Amino acid sequence: MQPDNELVTVTTREGVGVITINNPPVNALSPGVPEGITAAVKALQDDRSVQAIVLIGGGRTFIAGADIKEFEKITSGQKRDLSPMRNMLVALEGCPKPIIAAIHGTAFGGGLETAMVCHYRVASPSAQVGQPEVKLGLIPGAGGTQRLPRLAGVAKASEMCGGGQPIGAADALQFGIIDRVIEGDLLSGAVTFAREVAASGNPPRKTRDLNDKLADAAANAQAIAAARDAFHKRARGFLAPLKAIEAVEAATKLSFDEGCKKERELFEECLFSDQSKALVHVFFAERAVSKIPGLPKDTPQIPIRRAAVVGAGTMGGGITMAYANAGIPVLLKEASQEALDRGLAKITSNYAATVKKGKLTQQQMDQRLALIQPTLTYDRFSEADIVVEAVFEGMELKKKVFAELNSVARPDAILASNTSTLDIDEIASVTSRPQQVIGHHFFSPANVMRLLEIVRGKQSSPSVIATSLSLAKTLGKTGVLVGNCRGFVGNRMFAAYQREAQFLLEEGASVEQVDAALVEFGMAMGPLAVGDLAGLDVSWRIRKEYKHLRPPGLRDALAADRLCELGRFGQKTGAGWYRYPEGSRSPVPDPEVEKIIADCARAAGIQRRAINAEEIIERTIFALVNEGAKILEEGFALRASDIDIVYIHGYGFPAWRGGPMRYADTVGIDRVYQRVCQFEKQHGPWWTPAPLLAQLAAGRKTFAAFDQEKTPAA
Ligand code: 3H9
């Protein structure tokens, strides 16, 4: 039989029609694919030699969903709707011959919906199925919220549609989402299954007609209420999970067709929302970070089989765990037995806590610990393909360590520094191989946080950069390449954000008010609670040491300094911006702090006033944006979207707002620019607008447009 189009081919095998999708890399339902499948179904329906049909993906996967690139075309009015996809679903479901979806790789989103509209599903043992639309601020829009509860029950469907996490083939079988797991060749197994179904003579089984799992109204209501409660607590302003539950609820209350209508309304509401547009931006931004102009895909890489870490403190310990978690053997060096023991004890207790939570087995913990080899010497450092330095943050100490590493590490090994602020080129200058030196700035806790800032020195070689980017993926991180400026991208911007949070206190806001406004905005934690967690002494020391590098006219952070003078360093001393009762990490507002702030404001002659949440958001978030714009025009970040990824994965910025630069686009660059100009007049020259911000505002442009002009699509 002739292929219907090049994206979809049709063959026959033992009386079974085989429709194969060939739309690499992930067989998304791009234009042409649904049309091809519809035409193939119609052709096979009329072919009397065919008794059943198998739908399978060519290449590495079944179908990873609707084509995400198409959504923007719909919301911007360039494209009408998703009707070819819906026509495909009707053709598949209505086919009088049984259709079997054969799943390998992933059946995600519209991919799972396509599989569920087929009459049966079989899968490879390693296949995954899921409705991850919420991660794009969407809900399933092709019947997923109506068919999944009919197959898997309301509780499981709510969890999968509201949470977006995929499940494996074994679980999918247990929950009734698939009918058989095929060991060995998937297509052969699917054809055998198809022949069995055809031989049974039963009419095609339509998922829409399977109502058994919806029968218990009281249990359904309970499952929906529990899901709503759980997602409501987690959502904090993020809409899609609750919309997904609303759609699943419709399956329990309405007919199938009415339920689909409701789902479609909710899907479209989500599709046109700023939240979904922001999350689609994040999806592509996450994939753009590894595309580096001038760094070809085939740049030779250094195989990383063994690692070594210098320093077993909080950062060094976390980095060591990140390597062990990825299955890479790692030497962990400390200067004294006591410090080494302390570091190892912390690593062991961290793993034990994960085992206790049921997220790791004892056996996995033992395997990971066995990969960590503690040492007090550099004896085996020549075995390491990469050495990560994670000693105390001070230039002289870092230089001493790098000079030592220069003489013990193999010449081709990568020498990475975990510095969060210091000059990578100065560190590299003490070695005879600056091309092998790079910054790997992990975020605490390093075994958990997804961000890795990869700091490119002047001489870091292409191979060291390319290896760092793929190593980040191996470690389960998102690596973002940044330039070598003070604080790099994340901390340089964070300093401006923290500064404004603290100034707002002296001007009249309370500690809880500032934190609550930013938590309400969607930040994982408020800036003052974050300060207490990180330790206020760290920024105090930096403020004192680098006074000469401060922006022009910047006034002192009086209250923050005063707290440190009183020994209030945050959680570790039981008090900072908040009080922490013995053994607790929960912040308790402290009237003493309010008094200190009021005294500092009086001493500085600041007239305190009422400050609302809007001002708190604008002062702190626009400070991020203004500094981000400076970083961008100075070339220390490659793209505005890279900055967004840094903030989402390293600083708890809400992904559904797309990151600070994307947020500025949503608010309107002109509005941001006007406010920054006002802040400059009201507060001082440290608010001088970034020239890029002024330029974008004047040209009515966005950061997204800036990115596009700078790095045209490949
Ligand atoms: C949906 O289905 C709505 C429905 O309810 C229907 C409503 C009517 N579209 O991630 P990778 C690209 S919403 C377009 O690096 P991996 C990706 O950009 C959708 N492009 O590979 C990248 O391009 P490039 C629901 C897509 O192996 C390349 O493929 N589905 C899509 O690490 C490789 O991707 C999802 O949300 C897509 N759907 O991971 C699934 N998917 O090379 C989203 C990928 O130019 N996708 N691309 O940078 C994923 O989760 C992962 O891509 C996947 C593979 C696990 C599939």
The CA-atom distances, in angstroms, between 699 and each of 687, 688, 692, 706 are 21, 19, 10, 11
Confidence of residue 680 (pLDDT cuts 50, 70, 90): very high
What is the CB neighbour count within 10 angstroms for residue 52? Answer: 26
Q: Catalytic pick from 6, 70, 72, 133? A: 133
Residue 139 Cα to ligand 1 middle (Å): 15
Is the pLDDT at 670 greater than 60? The verdict is yes
Helix (H) or strand (E) holding 94: helix 83-94
82 lines ligand 1 (CB under 6 A): yes
Q: pLDDT tens digits, residue range 9-37?
A: 999 999 999 999 999 999 999 999 999 99
**Mean pLDDT estimate for the chain:** 95
Q: Which has the higher per-residue pLDDT, 224 or 535?
A: 224
pLDDT at 659: 98
Q: Is 633 labeled as catalytic in the residue annotation?
A: no
pLDDT at 233: 83
In angstroms, rounded to a whole number, what is the distance separating the alpha carbons of residues 605 and 624? 27
Is the pLDDT at 281 greater than 70? The verdict is yes
Mutate which of 7, 21, 26, 135 to test ligand 1's pocket (most atoms within 8 Å of Cβ)? 26
Closest ligand 1 atom, residue 132 Cα:
36
pLDDT at 2: 46
Q: Is 592 labeled as catalytic in the residue annotation?
A: no
What is the CB neighbour count within 10 angstroms for residue 104? Answer: 23
Of all protein residues, whose CA lies closest to atom 28 belonging to ligand 1?
25
Of all protein residues, whose CA lies closest to atom 27 belonging to ligand 1?
26
Is the pLDDT at 1 greater than 50? The verdict is no
pLDDT at 711: 67
The CA-atom distances, in angstroms, between 112 and each of 115, 140, 141 are 5, 10, 11
Instruction: Tell me how far apart the terminal alpha carbons of the chain are, to the nearest angstrom.
Output: 35
Residue 10 Cα to ligand 1 middle (Å): 24
Is the pLDDT at 549 greater than 80? The verdict is no
Mutate which of 27, 30, 60, 68 to test ligand 1's pocket (most atoms within 8 Å of Cβ)? 68
Percent of the chain scoring above 70 in pLDDT:
98
pLDDT at 585: 87
The long-range contacts involving 194-198, CB below 8 angstroms and separated by at least 24 positions, are 194/16, 194/51, 194/52, 194/53, 194/54, 194/98, 194/100, 194/120, 195/14, 195/15, 195/16, 195/51, 195/52, 197/52, 197/98, 197/100, 197/119, 197/120, 198/15, 198/16, 198/51, 198/52, 198/97, 198/98
**Secondary structure of 520-577 as H, E, C letters:** HHCCCCCHHHHHHHHCHHHHHHHHHHCHHHCCCCCCCCHHHHHHHHCCCCEHHHCECC
Strands 372-375 and 330-333 turn out to be parallel
The CA-atom distances, in angstroms, between 216 and each of 167, 257, 438, 709 are 25, 20, 60, 56
Is the pLDDT at 510 greater than 50? The verdict is yes
For residues 350-362, give the mean pLDDT.
96
Query: What pTM was computed for the model?
Result: 0.94
Q: pLDDT tens digits, residue range 198-225?
A: 999 999 999 999 999 999 999 999 999 9
What is the CB neighbour count within 10 angstroms for residue 551? Answer: 14
Q: pLDDT tens digits, residue range 54-76?
A: 999 999 999 999 999 999 899 88
In angstroms, rounded to a whole number, what is the distance separating the alpha carbons of residues 62 and 82? 20
pLDDT at 3: 45
| Structure tokens given for 375 | 């040492």
For residues 405-430, give the mean pLDDT.
96
Q: Lowest-confidence range among 289-293, 390-394, 627-631?
A: 390-394
Confidence of residue 435 (pLDDT cuts 50, 70, 90): very high
Is the pLDDT at 300 greater than 60? The verdict is yes
Is the pLDDT at 546 greater than 80? The verdict is no
Residues forming beta bridges with residue 130, ordered by sequence position? 108
